Amino acid sequence: MKRRTFLAGLAAVPVAGCGLSSNTTSNSSASGQVTGEITFQTWSLKPKYTDYVNGVVDAFQKQHQGTTVKWVDQPADGYLAKVMADASAGSLPDVINVPPDLSFPLAKAGQLVDLDQELKDAKPEYLENAWQAFEIPGKGGCYGFPWYLNTGPVFYNKALFQQAGLDPNKPPANFKELEQQALQLAQKKVAMLGQTPTIADFGLYGVKLFDNDKFTFNEAKGVEFVESYKRMYDAGALIPEALTQNYTGSGAKFMAQQTALSPGSAYDLGKFKTDAPSLYANIGITKPITNTGSANMFLHGVSVPKSSKNQATALAFGRFLTNAENQVKFAKLASIFPSTSKGGDDPYFTTEDGSDEARVRVAAAKQLKTAVNYTPVQFSDQMREALLQQLADAMLGKKSPKQALDDAVNECNRLLK
C-alpha cells in the first residue's frame, strides 16, 4: 500500500529521449517449447511476499521440467526509471511487473509481445475491463497479463457528520451530494476533503478525458467539476494544504479527524483500528462517489518484452503467475483482488462473516466487475503535476476554472507530443 497508495498516480516515464526503438523484433515464438531459463522482475514485493512468489516459481518449475525462473525484485524508488533505462539498453527481463501506464510507452514503441496475437485463448480467463487496461487505446492489442487489482470504499466520520446536522447513515453517493454535504460541514468549521481531485476523479465525475489522440478534460463538464471544488475550497470544505505539490498528508488528516471523508481500501480498516481507535469507533463505510455508476480501478500486470530470448517460457510463466488459483492466494495475503474472471467467485470475496473488513472486501470485489481504470495510460507524472498546479491556481483565484483547465490540457497535450 506504500506503492503510491496502491498504484494511484503512477507515472508513465516519457518515451522521448529514451532511445526506444519501434523496430524491435521477436526472438522466439510463443508456440515454442516451454523450457530453459527466464528472469522475472517484480516491484517491491520482498520481503513480505517472498514465500508466496517462491512458491509460484517452484510450482511452475515442477509443472514444466527443464525450466528455471530467476526472480529479481527491484525497490520502489526509481523503478519506473530503471525499467525505461533497461528498455533503452535492450536488457529488459523476460517477464516484468508493470502497471498499464508503464506498459503503454513500451508497447507503443513496439517492445512488448501482443497477447491478443500470441495467446488468443487467454483473454476469456481475465475480467474484460482488466484486459482492456493493457491495450493501446484505439489501436487494440493487449500488452500485459492483468495481475492484481484494487478499488476501495469511501470512509467517512459519522461523528463529524452528525455534529453538522447530517444524517450519518446517508453519506454522499455522487458529486452533487458531496458538495451539498461539504458546504454544510464547512458551516461547522469542518473540512470534508483532504485532497484536490485527480484525473481519475474527473473520470468519475463523467468528464471525457481523452479523445482523438489528445486530452479533452477541459470540456464543459470538466469546468463544472472544478467550479464545484472552487466553491468547496472557498467555504473551507477543502483544506489549503491539499494545494501543495506532492502533498501526502490527507490520510493523516482523516485519521486525526480533521477531515470528514477519505477514499481508501480494505487495508485501511486495520490501520484505523490500531492507530486511530477513536476514529474507528465512528467510521462509516460507503461506495465510491461517482456520477457514472462505475468505481475507479487500479491494477498491475506482467508483460513479456519482444527482446526475450525465451518468449514461450516467459509467456507460459506470465499466464501461470496470473491464473485464478495463484491470484486468489496472493489476494488473500495482500488485501488486493484477482483480475481473473473466476477468481472473484471464491467465497472469500463473496461471503461476509459479520466483520467490517469482510463487508468492505465483498463490496469491493463486486464493484470491480464493472470498475474502470479512469486514468488514461497516456497520463504521465509530469502531466499530473501540471494539472495539480493549475487546480491550485483555480482554487486560489489566480485563474478561472476554465482558464486553469485550458492551460492544463494544453500542457498535457504538449507533453504528449
Give one DSSP letter per residue of 103-171, joined into a string: HHHHHHTT-B--HHHH-TTTGGGB-HHHHHTTEETTTEEE-SEEEEEE---EEEEHHHHHHTT--TT--
The answer to whether residues 158 and 185 touch, using CB atoms and an 8 Å cutoff, is no
Burial of 370 (C-beta count, 10 Å sphere; 0-12/13-18/19+)? middle
pLDDT at 1 over 80: no
The mean pLDDT value for 370-393 works out to: 94
C-alpha cell of residue 392: 491550485
Alpha carbon 367 to chain centroid distance?
15
Q: For residue 56, what pLDDT is reported?
A: 98
Q: Which of 32, 184, 177, 19 is nearest to 94 (CA)?
A: 32
From CA 224, how far away is CA 228, in angstroms rounded?
A: 6
Phi, psi of 38 (to 5 degrees): -135, 160
For the CA atoms of 222, 224, 227, 228, what is the dihedral angle to 10 degrees?
-110
pLDDT over 90 percentage in the chain: 83
Q: Is the pLDDT of residue 58 over 80?
A: yes
Spatial distance between the Cα atoms of 404 and 388, rounded to a whole number of angstroms: 10
- For residue 14, the model assigns a pLDDT of 30
For 76-88, how does the pLDDT look when each residue is reduced to its tens digit (9 = 90+)? 999 988 999 999 9
Number of other residues whose CB lies within 10 A of the CB of residue 165: 10
Residue 380's φ and ψ, nearest 5 degrees, are -95, 175
> Mapping DSSP to helix (H, G, I), strand (E, B) and coil, where does residue 305 land?
strand
E-state strands within 236-308:
261-263, 283-286, 298-303
What are the chain's domains?
A: 4-150+298-368 (3.40.190.10), 154-294+380-416 (3.40.190.10)
Residue-wise pLDDT for 165-224, tens only, equals 999 999 999 999 999 999 999 999 999 999 999 999 999 999 999 999 999 999 999 999
Burial class (CB in 10 A: 0-12, 13-18, 19+), 354: exposed
DSSP string, 257-272: TSBSEEE--HHHHHHH
Output the pTM of the full model. Answer: 0.87
Question: In this predicted structure, what is the pLDDT of residue 381?
Answer: 86
